[in-house]
Amino acid sequence: MPIGDVLPEISLTLGAVAIVLFASFVRQRQHHWAAVLALLAIGLGAGLTVAQWGGTPRLTFSGVWALDGVALASKLVVLIAGALVVAMSPEWMRTDRRHGEYYALVLFALLGVIMMASASDTMELVLGVLLSSVASYPLAAYHRGWAPALEAGMKYFLIGALTNTLLTIGVVVLFGLTGSTGYPDIAQALATDSDRLALTIATACVVLGLTFKLAAFPAHAWMPDVAQGSPVPAAAFLTVIPKIGAAVALARFVSLLPPDVAWRAIVASISVATMTLGNVAALRQTDVRRLLGWSSVSQSGYALMAIVVLGVSDQALPALVFFLASYATANLAAFAVVTHLRGRTALDDYRGLARHAPIAATILIVSLLSLVGIPPLVGFFGKLMLFRVTLEGGYAWLALVAVINTVVSLFYYLRIVAPMMFGSRQSAVHVLSGQWARSAMAVAGVLLIVGGLGAEALSLFTGSIRFAL
């Protein structure tokens, strides 16, 4: 048990425990220092992750934990995104009596997401999904005195209970077929003759189970409610970070399956349904946070395109990781602006914003254009890599569907941009007092610009990542 291989995860665990103890013994007005502790734990975890970079890709802890380029890259994206979420939170949570405990939940949820991305064993995967879910349910309903928050939390919990059950059933069936839970042993057992009907059922259950964390069809219905009803920093977390771990976990799982199992057709169908449903539903939204929730659903459909062509295109994994990083940056920047504006959600609240709050309006516009995929923003390069690997993999029809959906998405993003630029505002702009939310918004905006300018370097950085298996 080489403890050094999981030092980043240990730092998050110890940080969460320290925050719980700290919040138990200090006054509420000092709970904002828990955010500092969370940032220190995340920073330490990121530093330890960087220190692991460059080593030989391998499986550790008896093969249940992956230390490869995909796991490390996704871990870095998750930790940076988590730091931005923490930075958005202190002013928003200032008056909540459970302010300090909030950061412990964030760290535990981050740990669950990292476990999903690094799992090389089906039981480890289940553990990561459950840890992420259990820590995320309270985040969704943290404002328990507000009816939309309770509805969001209940819907999130019920869908999670169903899909986590399906995931566990799939893992049990897979164990019955192969006699093992480790990915290398499963891949070796499936290479020989096995019951293909049972394997297809197991595959479908596992894929459907992971669609919950991805917010992909058919387990997507919680996303718009959570985006609207959760605390805005928690909504930023739940719309972005879990799907990074789930996408990598799904890619790692399907890479085990023999070619005669119809997993590509299953994932491609889910991809089309997810991006189409998300974009069509977003067209009718008049609430900005709910619109961003449906947009997040559609983005999951795009991410699944890279998984469809795994094993066919050599750049499928780099494209997946790059797209997830670009999406996370843009979506977090958009929610950082919403947080800065005290969670204002009606489209009318954004009318004339470019004149009264030009910096916030600029960051929001840039983030929305990046989500569309407008050059030279980082989102453009993320989608370009997706389209390229999809075409290389022989799925031109899927790339065409994605292009059509991208054009459709432009319309509802412009429904936010146009009033900001050309509308007139009747009331003053009210923002959160303090520097935390403003700084998080500024950092997210800078990351958007830097990501676009350094897209070539980032693509080279991710271009050689592979699974250890």
Query: What pTM does this model have?
Result: 0.94
Please give the single-letter amino acid code of residue 235.
A
pLDDT digits (tens, 9 = 90+) for 127-150: 999 999 999 999 999 988 888 889
Average pLDDT over residues 375-389: 91
Q: Residue 238: name the closest of 297, 325, 287 by CA.
A: 297
Give, as one character, the DSSP assignment of residue 262.
T
User: Which comes out higher in pLDDT, residue 430 or 54?
Assistant: 54
- Tell me how far apart the terminal alpha carbons of the chain are, to the nearest angstrom: 19
Gap between the Cα atoms of 362 and 337, Å rounded: 10
**DSSP states of 10-50 as a string?**
HHHHHHHHHHHHHHHHS-GGGTTHHHHHHHHHHHHHHHHHH
In the prediction, which pLDDT does 427 show? 65
pLDDT digits (tens, 9 = 90+) for 296-322: 999 999 999 999 999 898 889 999 999
pLDDT digits (tens, 9 = 90+) for 365-381: 999 999 999 888 899 99
**Entry field: residues in the chain:** 469
Q: Residue 242: name the closest of 265, 219, 264, 271 by CA.
A: 219
Mean pLDDT of the chain: 90
**DSSP states of 284-334 as a string?**
T--BHHHHHHHHHHHHHHHHHHHHHTBTTBTTHHHHHHHHHHHHHHHHHHH
In the prediction, which pLDDT does 463 show? 64
Gap between the Cα atoms of 289 and 232, Å rounded: 8
pLDDT digits (tens, 9 = 90+) for 212-262: 999 999 999 999 999 999 999 999 999 999 999 999 999 999 998 888 788
Three-state DSSP string of 327-338: HHHHHHHHHHHH
Gap between the Cα atoms of 252 and 120, Å rounded: 8
Ranges of beta strands (E only) in 316-389 are none
Gap between the Cα atoms of 150 and 286, Å rounded: 21
Within a 10 A sphere around the Cβ of 426, how many other Cβ atoms?
A: 8
pLDDT digits (tens, 9 = 90+) for 396-409: 999 999 999 999 99
Residue 84 has pLDDT above 70, yes or no: yes
pLDDT digits (tens, 9 = 90+) for 428-451: 677 777 788 899 999 999 998 888
Q: Residue 5: name the closest of 88, 103, 114 by CA.
A: 114
Q: Are 41 and 11 in contact (CB under 8 A)?
A: yes
Gap between the Cα atoms of 308 and 399, Å rounded: 11
**Least confident window among 10-24, 72-86, 455-469:** 455-469
Please, which residues bridge with residue 60 across strands? 65
Within a 10 A sphere around the Cβ of 463, how many other Cβ atoms?
A: 16
In the prediction, which pLDDT does 3 show? 87
* Rounded alpha-carbon distances, angstroms, from residue 242 to 79, 117, 148: 12, 10, 21
pLDDT digits (tens, 9 = 90+) for 153-185: 999 999 999 999 999 999 999 999 988 899 999
Within a 10 A sphere around the Cβ of 150, how many other Cβ atoms?
A: 15
Scan for tokens 């590509």, then name that residue. 264
Q: Enumerate the domain spans of the chain.
A: 3-462
Sign of CA dihedral 164, 165, 166, 169: positive
As a whole-number percent, the residues of the chain with pLDDT over 90 amount to: 65
Query: From the centroid of its chain, how far is CA 8?
Result: 19
In the prediction, which pLDDT does 468 show? 67
Within a 10 A sphere around the Cβ of 386, how many other Cβ atoms?
A: 26
**HSE value, Cβ hemisphere, 13 Å, CA-based, for 189:** 17
Gap between the Cα atoms of 304 and 274, Å rounded: 9
Gap between the Cα atoms of 149 and 160, Å rounded: 16
Residue 267 has pLDDT above 90, yes or no: yes
Gap between the Cα atoms of 93 and 2, Å rounded: 38
Scan for tokens 């609240």, then name that residue. 349
Residue 469 has pLDDT above 60, yes or no: no
Q: Of 139-153, 192-206, 207-221, 349-363, which has the strongest mean pLDDT?
A: 207-221
Angle at 338 between CA 230 and CA 272, to 5 degrees: 70
Q: Residue 440: name the closest of 83, 110, 93 by CA.
A: 83
Give, as one character, the DSSP assignment of residue 63.
T
